[in-house]
Amino acid sequence: INRVLELLEILQRCPEIQPSKLAALQRILQSDFCDMIREVYEHIYTTVDINGSEEV
């Protein structure tokens, strides 16, 4: 996420891209909601056995 935010800052300086849309995306990525989604994803990634049965 941090790298994406860095790239968004660089893109906001490009005249071809609408800065308002990039700013909106940046706010979403920095939101508490996005942080919670990332935490859940990381928790699932570290706890779920991906080598489990194909039936699951």
- The CATH number of residue 38's host domain is 1.10.287.650
Q: Identify the domain containing residue 35 by its residue range.
A: 2-47
The predicted structure's pLDDT at residue 53: 64
The arithmetic mean of pLDDT across residues 3-8, rounded, is 87
Instruction: Record the pTM.
Output: 0.58
Nearest to 22 by CA among 36, 35, 8: 8
Number of domains in the chain: 1
Residue 8 in contact with residue 26, Cβ under 8 Å?
yes
Domain assignment present for residue 54? The answer is no
Between CA 14 and CA 33 the distance in angstroms is 28
Q: pLDDT tens for residues 6-37?
A: 888 888 888 888 888 888 888 998 999 999 99
